[in-house]
Structure 1
Amino acid sequence: MSADIDQDDGQTVVPLSDPQAETFWREFSRQLPQLQTLDGQGFVMEANELLHNYAPGLSIELEGVAKEAGSKLVISAHGNTAEFENAQVLVRNAPQLQNFTVQAYRSRTLGADFGMRMEDFELTSSDVLVGYYDAGGITGLELAFAKPIPSDMMGHAQHMSFIMLDHVLGEWDFSVRVGPVEFVEEITNGLNGPVKLSEFPAVFDAFVRQTLGRTYEYPQEQDSRWLSLEVRARDTDEDAPPDILSFHDSANAVATRADLSYFLEWRLSFDSQEQLDQVRDVQDALDTELAHHQRGILVFTRVENMSSRVAAFYVDDPAHAQQLAQQLAAKHAKGIKAELNLSFDPAWNEYLSLYGAIHRRGEDA
C-alpha cells in the first residue's frame, strides 16, 4: 500500500544525516504500537507524516499487514535519484523491527501485465512496445504504442507508460539502469525488440546480463581485465606528457550495484619516482582492504601531468572508506599531499562515461 505524494524533483534535496535517521527510527519505534492499530492506509499516512519531518522527499510504503510477521516497509524516493542517498541512509540506520523488514526502493510489480485508467482513457502494459539498445553501458529505450492513441490523450498515455515502466522494472532498475527514453511512432529498425512492456522484465534482465555484461558478481583478481591508455585533453600542449589511464574493464560486471553507490576519488601528489611508487603502494593497499570483504572496487587510476596519481573506487560506506584512506595515508604516505573526494553516484556515471568512450573507440578502430 502506498501514499500519493506530490513530488517536486526540482527542489533542493537536504541531505539526511545518520543521527537524523536514528532519531526518526526511535520516534517511529515509539509510535509503532499505535500505528499497528490502524488500517493499512492509516498506517501509511501517519508514518509518512512523521517521516516528512526528517526527509520530505521520501515515503514509506507498506507491503503486507502491519500486525503480521513478514510485512515490509519500503522506503521510496518516487524515482527521484537525487533522493536515493537519503533512502539508503534511512535504511542503513533502520533498527530490527518486530514483524517488519525494511528495504530501499520499490520492487517490481508481480505480474507485469496490468492496466491503468486516467480520465476515462485506459492503457495496458501490453499496449506499450519497447525497443532497447546499449546506450554506452546503460539501457536506452524507445517506446511506441501498439494501438491508436487519440491526440488529446497522447500526453496522458506517455505519462502512464512511465508509471508502468517504474512498476514493471522496479524503482532502482528504471531510475538507475535505464538511460535515454524516447517515444516514437514506430520502433527504429535495428534495435532489439519490439517487445510488449508486459513481457519486458525478463528480456531486460537478459540484455543487462548478456549484452551489457552485468553479472553483479565481484570480479576475481585472476580474471580481472585492465586496459592502459594514454589520454590527452584537447587544449593540452602537444609537448606535454599525456595522462596515463589504467582502466578496470572487469569492474563493469558490478556497475550500478546498489551496495556500491559511492564514488571515491583519492588524489596523491608526487615529485619523484620514489614518491610515485609510494603513492601507488598506498592506493593499492586501499584497494586490497576494500576488496577483502567486497566493500569497494578500484575502477581506474590516472597519472596526471606526471605530478599526481588518482585512484577511483566505488564503495559501500563512504565514512568507512574515507577513514581507511586517511589511516593508510598517515601510516605509509607521510608528507605527501592527499585530496579525497566522495560523491553519491548510483548510476556509475563516472565509470560508465569512460567505459562507453573506450569501447566506442575500440569499435571505431
Structure 2
Amino acid sequence: MSEAAPELSAAELAQRIDTFWLGFLQGEAELVQKPVRDQVEEINEILEASLDGLALEMSANDGDLQIELIATAQGSKDRFPLLMDFVKRAPPLKHYTLRAFRSRTEEPDFPIRMNDFELATSELLIGHFADEGQVGIEVKFDRELPSDMQDHARNMAFIMLDHVLGEYDFAIKVGVVDFVDEFSAEVIQATPLHQFGAVMDSFWTGALGHTGLFPNGEDSWSTLTLAFESDGEGNHAIVSVNDSANAVAARPDLGHAVELKLPAHDQATLDAARDLQDQIATRLELHHAGILSHTMLRNGERMANYYVGDLPAALEMINASVQSAPLADADLRSEFDPSWSKYFEFAG
C-alpha cells in the first residue's frame, strides 16, 4: 500500500475524495449491473489507489438495484477523520446508500470459519473493567484450542469483536485487550461475546458515566499538582480537570482536541488568559459545539484543552477571539483524539 495519503494536505485529500465520487457517479448505472463481487473489487481498486486505508463493503445480492455501501477504515483510528470526510462529501446516488463504519451484527450468536478452523461468539467469554475512561476487556476461550491455532484464534477473536461491537465503538471505547486463561481480580463479570454489546453499553453510560449528555449548571472541577523532574527541581504544573466533561467524553461529534496556550507569566496575564479561555468555553458549550475539558498552568503559560466536533468552525472562532483580545504569543494546535486520551491522562 502507498504511504502518500497521510502526507497530503486537507485540500488535496478533499480533491481526491471529490474525484473518486465524480467517477463513481458517472459509472454508477453500469456498475450496479455487475455481480456484487465484481463491484466491490472494482471500486476498491480505484479507492485504494487514491485514498489509502479506506475500503467500501456491500450488503447486497447479485441483481439488487438498491445496495448499501459501508465505508470502513478497517478499525484504524488514524483514518477515521478521512473516512468521515469521505462519507460527508459523497453525492446523492441513485442505486446506493452510504454509511460510515461497520455496524454491529444483529445475529444473536454466529460462527466464523477461517483456514478450516471455526469459532463461535458463544465460545468467547469477555471480562470487562474500567481502563482510564475506556472499557478494558479480557478474553477467555471457553473451549479447548489446538496448540497450533492459538494465534489464529486470537486474530479471529479480534474480527469477531469488531463485528459484535461495531467498528467505531471497538476502536474508540475499548482500551486494553488481553487474552487470559483465567480472569483477573479487576474483572467485573464474564459475558459471552454475543451478549457483550449491551453489557458494554450499560457499563459505558453507567459505571463510567459517559451518558453523552452535556452538563447543566456549574461544572465540577478537580485540581492536580504535578512535578516534572526532567525540567529541574521544583518545576511543577497545576492541572484543573473538568469532571463534568466526563459525561460527553468520546462522543462521536466531539473527537477533535484543540489546545490553546496563552502567556501567563504574572497575575495580569494569567487573569487575561483565564478570562479569554473561559469565554471561548462558554461560546462552545452554549451551542453544544464543544467543551473545555482541562487546563494546565506551567512554565509561564496557561493551556486550555477543548473537545470540538466542527474543527474548522472552532478554530475560526478561537482565532478570532484571540485576535480581538489581543494577546501576544498565542499557540493554537489541534489533533484528532476521539478516545479523549488527553483528558483521561488527568481525569479520574
Deviations 1:37-59 (A, max 9, x none): 22322222222122223212100
Residue of structure 2 in register with 1:67 after alignment: 65
Residue 189 and residue 280 in structure 1: after superposition, are their counterparts in 2 closer, same or farther (change >3 A)? closer
Shift of 1:297: 1.2
- Partner Cα separation in structure 2 for residue 11 and residue 117 of structure 1: 34
Shift of 1:238: 5.1
In 1, the alpha carbon distance for the partners of 2:41 and 2:7 equals 22
Q: What is aligned with 1:3?
A: none
**Partner residue in 2 for 1:184:** 180
Matched, 1:294 2:291: no
Within 5 Å, give how 1:296-315 maps onto structure 2. Answer: 296-305=290-299, 307-315=300-308
Alpha-carbon separation, structure 2, partners of 1:53 and 1:30: 18
What whole-Å deviation, never above 9, does each CA across 1:293-350 have from its counterpart, x for those lacking one? Answer: 2221110111223x2111101111222221111111111224x211111111122111
Distance 1:96 1:223 in 2: 43
Letter in 2 for 1:282: L
Match of 1:338 in 2: 330
| Unmatched runs of 5 consecutive residues or more in structure 2 | none
SS at match of 1:200: helix
- Equivalent position to 2:105, from 97, 106, 109: 109
Q: How far apart are 1:236 and its partner, in Å?
A: 4.9
Q: Which residues of 2 match residues 123-138 of structure 1 at below 5 A?
A: 123-138=119-134
Partner residue, 1:362: none
Instruction: Note if contact 1:225-1:248 (Cα within 8 Å) is conserved in structure 2.
Output: yes
Alignment counterpart, residue 339 of structure 2, candidates 333, 347, 358: 347
2:252 partner letter: A
What TM-score, normalized by structure 2, do the two folds share?
0.91
One-letter amino acid of the counterpart of residue 258, structure 2 = L
2:272 & 2:125 partners in 1: Cα distance? 55
Tell me, in whole angstroms, the C-alpha distance in 2 between the residues paired with 1:272 and 1:187. 52
CA RMSD of aligned residues (A): 2.3
- Conserved 8 A contact 2:83-2:100: yes
- Superposition map of 1:67-216 within 5 A: 67-68=65-66, 71-98=67-94, 100-216=96-212
**Local SS of the residue matching 1:219:** coil
Size of the alignment, in residue pairs?
Answer: 343
Q: Deviation per CA, 1:223-280: give whole Å up to 9, x if none.
A: 522112333323455555x432221111111212222111111111144433322222
Q: Which residue of 2 aligns with 1:323?
A: 316
User: Given the alignment of the two structures, is residue 256 of structure 1 paired with residue 250 of structure 2, yes or no?
Assistant: yes
1:55 maps onto 2:51 in alignment: yes
Cα–Cα, structure 1 residues 315 and 64, in superposed 2: closer, same or farther, change >3 Å? farther
Q: Which amino acid aligns with 1:216?
A: G
In the alignment, does 2:39 pair up with 1:43? yes
* More off after superposition, 149-158 vs 276-285: 276-285
Structure 1 278/102 Cα, relative in aligned 2: closer, same or farther at 3 Å? farther
Q: Is this contact kept in 2: 1:130–1:187, CA < 8 A?
A: no
Query: What one-letter code is carried by the residue in structure 1 that aligns with 2:109?
Result: D
Unaligned residue ranges in structure 1 (runs of 5+): 1-6, 360-365
